[in-house]
Amino acid sequence: MSDNVKINRGLKGIYFERSGVSDIDGAKGELSYRGYSIHDLATHSTFEEVCYLLIHGDLPTADQLAAFDTALKAARVLPAPVLDIIRATKDGHPMDVLRTAVSALAALEPDSQQVGEEAFVANGIRLISQVPIIIAAHDAIRNGREVVAPDMDLSHAGNWLWMLKGEKPTPEATRLADVDFILHAEHGANASSFAARVTIGTETNLHGGIVTALSTLAGPAHGGAAEDVMKMVHEIGTPDKAAAYVKAKRAAKEAVTGFGHRVYRKEDPRARHMREGVRQLGEEMGAPEWYEILQAVVDAMQPYARHGLNVNVDFYSGVIYQLHGIAMDLYVPIFAIGRMPGWIIQCIEQQRGNILIRPLTLYNGPEPRAYTPLNAR
Ligand SMILES: CC(=O)SCCNC(=O)CCNC(=O)[C@H](O)C(C)(C)COP(=O)(O)OP(=O)(O)OC[C@H]1O[C@@H](n2cnc3c(N)ncnc32)[C@H](O)[C@@H]1OP(=O)(O)O
Ligand SMILES: O=C([O-])CC(=O)C(=O)O
Coil/strand/helix, residue 312: coil
Q: What is the mean pLDDT of each run of 10 residues along the chain (377 residues)?
A: 85 96 97 98 98 98 98 97 98 98 96 95 98 98 98 97 95 93 98 98 98 97 93 96 96 94 95 91 91 96 89 92 93 97 98 96 97 97
Q: Is the distance from CB of 311 to CB of 259 less than 8 angstroms?
A: yes
Q: What is the pLDDT of residue 306?
A: 83
Rounded CA-CA distance 73/45 in Å is 18
Q: What is the pLDDT of residue 2?
A: 66
Q: How many CB atoms lie within 10 A of CB 38?
A: 25
Residue nearest to atom 35 of ligand 1 (CA): 260
Distance 190 CA to ligand 2 centre (A): 5
Q: Is the distance from CB of 286 to CB of 196 less than 8 angstroms?
A: no
Q: In angstroms, how far is CA 23 from the centroid of its own chain?
A: 17
Q: Write out the residue limits of the CATH 1.10.230.10 domain(s) in the chain.
A: 225-323
Instruction: Given the cut 0.90, state whether the ipTM is greater than it.
Output: yes
State the DSSP H helix or E strand holding residue 30, giving kind and residue range, or none if neither: strand 30-33
- C-alpha atoms less than 13 angstroms from C-alpha of 53 in its C-beta half-sphere: 20
Rounded CA-CA distance 259/298 in Å is 9
How does DSSP assign 76-90, residue by residue? ----HHHHHHHHHTT
Sign of the Cα torsion 288, 291, 297, 303 reads negative
Q: Is the distance from CB of 213 to CB of 196 less than 8 angstroms?
A: yes
Q: What is the pLDDT of residue 3?
A: 72
Given the CA of residue 184, which atom of ligand 1 is nearest to it? 1
Q: In angstroms, how far is CA 375 from the centroid of its own chain?
A: 51
Distance 64 CA to ligand 1 centre (A): 41
Amino acid at residue number 28? K
Distance 223 CA to ligand 2 centre (A): 8
Q: Is the distance from CB of 321 to CB of 231 less than 8 angstroms?
A: no
Rounded CA-CA distance 137/250 in Å is 40
Closest CA to 172 of 41, 331, 320, 326: 320
Mutate to test the pocket of ligand 2, among 21, 30, 31, 190 (most ligand atoms within 8 A of CB): 190
Q: What is the pLDDT of residue 310?
A: 94
Annotation marks residue 261 as catalytic? yes
Q: Where does ligand 2 bind, in terms of residues with CB under 6 Å?
A: 187-188, 190, 261-263, 312-313
Ligand with the closest atom to the CA of 249:
1
Rounded CA-CA distance 281/272 in Å is 14
Distance 135 CA to ligand 2 centre (A): 22
Rounded CA-CA distance 69/155 in Å is 8
Given the CA of residue 268, which atom of ligand 2 is nearest to it? 6
Amino acid at residue number 221? A
Is domain 22-222+328-351 in CATH 1.10.580.10, yes or no? yes
Q: Write out the residue limits of the CATH 1.10.580.10 domain(s) in the chain.
A: 22-222+328-351
Q: Phi and psi dihedrals of 37, rounded to 5?
A: -60, 140
78: left (phi over 0), alpha (psi -120 to 50) or beta: beta
Annotation marks residue 111 as catalytic? no
Rounded CA-CA distance 95/99 in Å is 6
Q: Where does ligand 1 bind, in terms of residues with CB under 6 Å?
A: 10, 221-223, 225, 255-262, 309, 312-314
Residue of 228, 261, 268, 273 marked active site: 261
- Helix pair angle (314-323, 271-284), 10° resolution: 30
Mutate to test the pocket of ligand 1, among 250, 261, 302, 317 (most ligand atoms within 8 A of CB): 261
CATH code of the domain made up of 225-323: 1.10.230.10
Residue nearest to atom 7 of ligand 1 (CA): 221
Contact partners, residue 260, CB within 8 Å, separation at least 6: 309, 310, 312
Determine how β-strand 30-33 pairs with β-strand 36-37. Answer: antiparallel
- String of b and e for 304-313 (b: at least 16 CB within 10 Å)? eeeeebbbbb
